[in-house]
């Protein structure tokens, strides 16, 4: 509908214009007039009211008026679905009761195209929602919940798509400390004069169908586009300070100017104090939200600034005024002006950051919080989470912003520095791509995409806030700042990460945990971020099964990324309190004598000192095992993560629990097998591993239970052998500074030490009492002897008696498995010491023949295997002696002496 008021201001009063009602409004008018007629014909009062009706009104017929905003909008040609209906002699509650009574009479609903009255909240929520709805909503609450108060007795209803408030014409008397007036029935003039602005004080008389301007200034002020109070401004605002905010809202909404006299009163300190004291923050918030959602939020904030109302509105009422942080409003005008310009000029910033009305509202809401950008973070009470930033508290408590808005403000403040720094780094990289940089590549798709995911769904608002803060902080560089942010956003658009926050990971937590063979837990969240970063780097990687296989096989880019992540952010923090003292942060041997740790009163509970052992962190060791196995496939990663993977392994070897020592030894064996010798040499950790592993050889019964000793030794011997091969390589790296001969001597010395401290000492200590442990010792003696080769002959005087002590006894039955391992050790002695077998053949034959005789007659599988190994040992001895006639003669003598040996010596 075209505006009804389009004319210039002249000296003569503007004649009252006519308005045309829509079909729905006309139906409402008919209904209201019929109800008024119905009441006039039966004026009996069916309800009690706390508002006394003056005698002079009692005899008057009912007159109805549409008031306030509907009239103003109608004159401006703006459709409005909210109508306040003022009744001259009844409260809204009383009129609502009679309206309901009227519609409940048969046939009355149909007169207005209606069919029903909603009888409950569920029906009422849908009733009257559009002009097609044939149900009246809201009236069911009247009798059940009249919502009476000494101030207002109103009723709301929904009909034909219109929201109706039923009220009475009133005059008001205000107290000093409250904006809630004492309400009485009033005349139309008194009701008009109590309103906030003349343009809102015009009525549409339903009975006469005319516009009434009882202030005599409404039409003129509307034509002049002026917001003016009907009464003297100071007293108007003193009675109800909320009118200050309402005038700001209407001025920004209508594009009108506020009357100069009103502006002076709005700046008055008494009015500001009254606004703080008398107006609830909920009402302040409602007005500000309406203003910021309106057509010109910039003008609303501009008025707040120019009227010096910022601290009055945007402050936390829960904090004493003397202790409240004083917001820095210097440059705030530039901030809101810049935001207006960016949005009105349809810049790339506006196109990419403000896509709809909600993001526009958030932009201005965040702009309103910029003066709190440097407020210090409130300290947290002991044992409590830190409170939100001051700006978020002001939003939540000062203007009662929604949780969504308050949370967005909190995140915007927390991320502002990060966003600003990332924008600067991005532009620096774009300007000077050849310049070396530290940290992440600010132009990379994964870095930017993960940043957007970290910032969340409101990331556009956060970037806008950062832009505004940078603008205020550097007012001399506003154009450069806008160019930087524009370039940053256009790059995000070019690499298609604007919606990165909504991407779904290729793997879910359960699939990843299964692929890693690790219990599910909190670790999965960050690990899935690693998967997402991989996806962002590889946008064509969309096959979930391929990703799962890559993790299982530990090959490719994704497992490498997971290794780095787990070591830095999962494993390292759990081992931080118990890291080895003789290893530096860089993964090198720490030189000099290490002092013992200082005595402390801190808790010694392993839940705190060794969180990796906690029942809540069972995933830690599973992940560490996966990492080490992945490094077998990703050998190029070892040097990069050396300082991260070695300390946890050494910590485990140093633990008091055998199961953790054993796992640490096993992991050290695995990692040393693929460690470049030059890396071990350069870091000096060969000696550290030796100091950690060698003492484990003495973990023997009775101090250590046999089962635990077996578990530990089964992992320590391979670890020591792997250490020997890496520490003293046969193929010396070119970068090595060591002499080949010296390396050979050190290797031999190291292996000699393992043989003496491990095999010889362990076997002698266990004797015949621990056959299973003897079996383990001999099993690991085989690769050790093979590693020593010919150098092992120096130990024959110890090796052969040791083995014969197990093979020879006939009174104590040794398990075939132990005898078999001893026999294999004899084979290793023969193979590696063959040049000396001629002079030691008698001792070798002694153990073999006595063992054969002791098991003769047995026929179980284990014994058969043992006999096979004994015969193999004889064959190896014969080969070592190179068919010497003396050997054949000696074996013949033995067979003649005991026929049971024929099965041993005959081919």
DSSP 63: -
- Strands 162-168 vs 226-227: parallel, antiparallel or unpaired: unpaired
Copy the structure tokens of residue 497: 């990460």
Question: With contact defined as beta carbons under 8 Å apart, do 230 and 193 qualify?
Answer: yes
379 in helix, strand or coil? coil
Question: With contact defined as beta carbons under 8 Å apart, do 416 and 394 qualify?
Answer: no
Band of pLDDT at residue 711, cut at 50, 70 and 90? very high
Q: Give the mean model confidence (pLDDT) for residues 309-332.
A: 94
Band of pLDDT at residue 851, cut at 50, 70 and 90? very high
Residues in Cβ contact with 798 at an 8 Å cutoff, skipping those fewer than 6 apart: 760
pLDDT, tens digit, 9 for 90 and up, residues 284-308? 999 999 999 999 999 999 999 999 9
Band of pLDDT at residue 2, cut at 50, 70 and 90? very low
Greatest mean pLDDT among 39-48, 512-521, 564-573: 564-573
Domain ranges of the chain: 1-224, 314-379+387-502, 539-590+607-738, 777-907
Amino acid 887: pLDDT? 87
**What's the CA gap between 446 and 444, in Å, rounded?**
6
Band of pLDDT at residue 149, cut at 50, 70 and 90? very low
Instruction: Pick the closest to residue 228 from 263, 252, 198 (CA basis).
Output: 198
pLDDT, tens digit, 9 for 90 and up, residues 189-210? 999 999 999 999 999 999 999 9
Q: Cβ-count burial of 495 within 10 angstroms (0-12 exposed, 13-18 middle, 19+ buried)?
A: middle
Amino acid 141: pLDDT? 57
Amino acid 371: pLDDT? 98
353 in helix, strand or coil? helix
Question: With contact defined as beta carbons under 8 Å apart, do 720 and 666 qualify?
Answer: no
* Residue 64 main-chain phi, psi, to 5 deg: -115, 145
Strand partners, 589: 583
Give the lowest-confidence range in 530-534, 626-630, 658-662, 881-885: 881-885
Amino acid 329: pLDDT? 95
Place of tokens 């005899």: 59
Band of pLDDT at residue 562, cut at 50, 70 and 90? very high
Give the lowest-confidence range in 365-379, 405-419, 662-676, 887-901: 887-901
Amino acid 116: pLDDT? 86
- Strands 82-87 vs 162-168: parallel, antiparallel or unpaired: parallel
pLDDT, tens digit, 9 for 90 and up, residues 756-805? 999 999 999 998 999 999 999 999 999 999 999 999 999 999 999 999 99
Q: Give the mean model confidence (pLDDT) for residues 74-96.
A: 92
Amino acid 3: pLDDT? 45
Sign of the CA dihedral with 901 first, then 904, 905, and 907 last: positive
Helix (H) or strand (E) holding 141: helix 141-144
Residue 583 has pLDDT above 50, yes or no: yes
Q: Give the mean model confidence (pLDDT) for residues 84-95.
A: 92
Mean pLDDT, all residues of the chain? 90
Give the lowest-confidence range in 87-91, 153-157, 719-723, 731-735: 153-157
Q: Which residue has the higher pLDDT, 218 or 161?
A: 218
Residue 896 has pLDDT above 60, yes or no: yes
Amino acid 133: pLDDT? 74
Q: Give the mean model confidence (pLDDT) for residues 243-266.
A: 97
Amino acid 810: pLDDT? 73
**What's the CA gap between 343 and 366, in Å, rounded?**
14
Amino acid 147: pLDDT? 44
Band of pLDDT at residue 134, cut at 50, 70 and 90? confident
Q: Which residue has the higher pLDDT, 478 or 439?
A: 478
Q: What is the percent of the chain where pLDDT is above 70? A: 93
Residue 604 has pLDDT above 80, yes or no: no
Question: With contact defined as beta carbons under 8 Å apart, do 670 and 629 qualify?
Answer: yes
Q: Give the mean model confidence (pLDDT) for residues 863-890.
A: 90
CATH code assigned to 1-224: 3.30.460.10
Residue 751 has pLDDT above 60, yes or no: yes
Residue 597 has pLDDT above 70, yes or no: no
| Whole-number Cα distances in Å, 87 to 16, 35, 174, 206, 778 | 22, 12, 22, 10, 107
Question: With contact defined as beta carbons under 8 Å apart, do 49 and 94 qualify?
Answer: yes
Q: Give the mean model confidence (pLDDT) for residues 248-277.
A: 96
Amino acid 753: pLDDT? 97
pLDDT, tens digit, 9 for 90 and up, residues 206-235? 999 999 999 999 999 999 999 999 999 999
| Residue 740 Cα to chain centre, angstroms | 54
- Strands 210-212 vs 203-205: parallel, antiparallel or unpaired: antiparallel
Residue 725 has pLDDT above 90, yes or no: yes
Residue 14 has pLDDT above 80, yes or no: no
Residue 374 has pLDDT above 80, yes or no: yes
Question: With contact defined as beta carbons under 8 Å apart, do 568 and 637 qualify?
Answer: no
Place of tokens 């300007």: 431
- The CA dihedral of 806, 812, 817, 823, to the nearest 10 degrees, is 30
Band of pLDDT at residue 837, cut at 50, 70 and 90? very high
Amino acid 17: pLDDT? 76
* Residue 885 main-chain phi, psi, to 5 deg: -65, -30
| Whole-number Cα distances in Å, 519 to 38, 505, 514, 614, 620 | 76, 19, 8, 14, 9
Residue 893 has pLDDT above 50, yes or no: yes
Band of pLDDT at residue 602, cut at 50, 70 and 90? low
Residue 439 has pLDDT above 70, yes or no: yes
Copy the structure tokens of residue 873: 């040992």
Residue 50 has pLDDT above 80, yes or no: no
Place of tokens 């999965």: 524
Q: Give the mean model confidence (pLDDT) for residues 489-510.
A: 94
Instruction: Pick the closest to residue 652 from 628, 679, 683, 678 (CA basis).
Output: 628
Amino acid 1: pLDDT? 39
Amino acid 313: pLDDT? 97
Question: With contact defined as beta carbons under 8 Å apart, do 118 and 124 qualify?
Answer: yes
Residue 378 has pLDDT above 50, yes or no: yes
Cα within 13 Å of Cα(214), Cβ side: 20
b/e per residue 655-686 (b: at least 16 CB within 10 A): beebebbbbbbbbbbbbbbbbbbbbbbbbbbb
Question: With contact defined as beta carbons under 8 Å apart, do 852 and 870 qualify?
Answer: yes
Band of pLDDT at residue 161, cut at 50, 70 and 90? confident
Report the number of secondary-structure helices (H) and strands (E) in the chain.
Answer: 44, 12
Cα within 13 Å of Cα(560), Cβ side: 12
**What's the CA gap between 342 and 732, in Å, rounded?**
66
Amino acid 45: pLDDT? 60
| DSSP character string of 794-818 | GGHHHHHHHHHHHHS-SSS---HHH
Band of pLDDT at residue 128, cut at 50, 70 and 90? low
Amino acid 6: pLDDT? 38
């Amino acid at each position: 509908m075209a505006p009804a008021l389009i004319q210039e201001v002249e000296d003569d009063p503007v004649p009252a214009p006519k308005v045309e009602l829509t079909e729905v409004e006309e139906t409402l008018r008919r209904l209201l007039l019929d109800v008024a007629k119905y009441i006039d014909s039966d004026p009996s009062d069916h309800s009690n009211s706390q508002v006394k009706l003056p005698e002079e009104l009692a005899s008057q017929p009912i007159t109805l008026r549409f008031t306030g905003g509907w009239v103003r909008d109608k004159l401006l040609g703006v459709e409005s679905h909210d109508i306040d209906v003022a009744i001259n002699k009844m409260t809204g509650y009383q009129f609502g009761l009679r309206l309901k009574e009227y519609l409940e009479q048969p046939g009355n609903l149909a007169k207005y195209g209606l069919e029903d009255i909603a009888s409950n909240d569920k029906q009422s929520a849908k009733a009257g929602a559009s002009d097609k709805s044939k149900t009246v909503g809201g009236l069911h609450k009247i009798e059940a919940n009249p919502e009476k108060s000494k101030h207002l007795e109103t009723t709301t209803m929904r009909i034909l798509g219109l929201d109706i408030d039923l009220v009475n014409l009133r005059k008001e008397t205000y107290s000093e400390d409250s904006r809630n007036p004492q309400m009485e029935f009033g005349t139309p003039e008194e009701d008009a004069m109590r309103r906030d602005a003349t343009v809102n004080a015009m009525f549409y008389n339903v009975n006469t169908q005319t516009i009434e301007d009882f202030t005599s200034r409404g039409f003129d002020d509307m034509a002049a586009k002026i917001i003016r109070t009907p009464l003297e401004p100071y007293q108007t605002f003193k009675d109800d300070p909320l009118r200050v905010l309402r005038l700001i809202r209407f001025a920004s909404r209508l594009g009108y100017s506020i009357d100069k006299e009103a502006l002076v009163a709005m700046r008055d300190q008494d009015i500001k104090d009254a606004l703080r004291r008398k107006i609830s923050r909920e009402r302040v918030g409602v007005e500000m939200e309406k203003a910021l959602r309106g057509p010109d939020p910039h003008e609303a904030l501009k008025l707040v600034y120019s009227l010096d109302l910022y601290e009055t509105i945007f402050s936390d009422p829960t904090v004493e005024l003397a202790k409240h942080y004083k917001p820095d409003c210097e440059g705030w005008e530039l901030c809101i002006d810049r935001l207006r310009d960016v949005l009105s000029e349809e810049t790339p910033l506006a196109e990419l950051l403000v896509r709809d009305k909600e993001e526009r509202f958030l932009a201005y809401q965040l702009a309103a919080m910029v003066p709190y950008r440097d407020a210090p973070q409130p300290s947290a009470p002991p044992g409590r989470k830190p409170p939100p930033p001051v700006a978020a508290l002001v939003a939540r408590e000062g203007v009662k912003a929604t949780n969504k808005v308050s949370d967005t403000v909190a995140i915007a403040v927390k991320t502002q520095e990060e966003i600003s720094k990332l924008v600067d780094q991005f532009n620096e990289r774009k300007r000077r791509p050849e310049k070396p940089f530290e940290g992440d590549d600010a132009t990379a798709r994964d870095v930017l995409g993960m940043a957007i995911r970290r910032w969340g769904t409101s990331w556009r608002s956060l970037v806008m806030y950062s832009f505004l803060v940078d603008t205020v902080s550097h007012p001399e560089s506003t154009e450069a700042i806008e160019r930087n942010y524009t370039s940053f956003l256009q790059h995000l658009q070019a690499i298609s990460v604007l919606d990165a926050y909504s991407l779904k990971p290729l793997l879910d937590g359960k699939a990843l945990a299964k692929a890693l063979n690790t219990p599910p837990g909190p670790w999965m969240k960050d690990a899935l971020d690693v998967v997402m970063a991989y996806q962002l780097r590889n946008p064509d990687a969309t096959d979930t099964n391929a990703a799962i296989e890559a993790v299982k096989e530990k090959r490719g880019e994704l497992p490498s990324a997971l290794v780095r992540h787990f070591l830095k952010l999962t494993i390292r923090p759990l081992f931080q309190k118990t890291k080895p003292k003789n290893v530096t942060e860089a993964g090198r041997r720490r030189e000099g004598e290490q002092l013992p740790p200082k005595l402390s009163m801190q808790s010694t509970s392993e839940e705190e000192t060794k969180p990796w052992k906690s029942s809540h962190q069972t995933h830690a060791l599973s992940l560490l095992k996966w990492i080490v196995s992945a490094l077998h496939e990703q050998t190029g990663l070892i040097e990069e993560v050396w300082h991260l993977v070695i300390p946890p392994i050494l910590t485990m070897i140093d633990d008091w629990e055998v199961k953790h020592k054993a796992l640490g030894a096993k992991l050290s064996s695995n990692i040393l097998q693929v460690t470049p010798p030059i890396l071990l040499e350069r870091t000096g950790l060969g000696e550290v591993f030796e100091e950690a592993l060698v003492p484990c050889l003495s973990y023997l019964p009775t101090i250590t239970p046999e089962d635990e000793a077996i578990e530990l030794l089964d992992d320590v011997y391979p670890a020591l052998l792997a250490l020997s091969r890496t520490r003293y390589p046969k193929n010396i790296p070119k970068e090595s500074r060591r002499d080949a001969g010296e390396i050979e001597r050190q290797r031999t010395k190291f292996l000699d030490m393992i043989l003496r401290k491990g095999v010889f000492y362990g076997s002698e200590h266990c004797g015949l009492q621990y056959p299973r442990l003897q079996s383990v010792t001999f099993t690991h003696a085989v690769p050790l002897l093979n590693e020593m080769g010919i150098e092992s002959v120096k130990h024959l005087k110890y090796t052969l008696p040791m083995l014969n002590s197990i093979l020879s006894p006939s009174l104590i039955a040794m398990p075939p498995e132990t005898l078999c391992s001893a026999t294999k050790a004899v084979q290793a002695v023969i193979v590696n010491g063959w040049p000396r077998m001629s002079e030691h053949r008698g001792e070798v034959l002694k153990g073999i023949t006595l063992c054969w005789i002791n098991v003769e007659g047995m026929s179980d599988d284990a014994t058969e295997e043992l006999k096979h190994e004994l015969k193999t040992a004889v064959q190896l001895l014969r080969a070592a002696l190179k068919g010497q006639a003396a050997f054949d003669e000696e074996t013949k003598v033995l067979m003649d002496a005991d026929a049971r040996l024929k099965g041993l010596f005959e081919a």
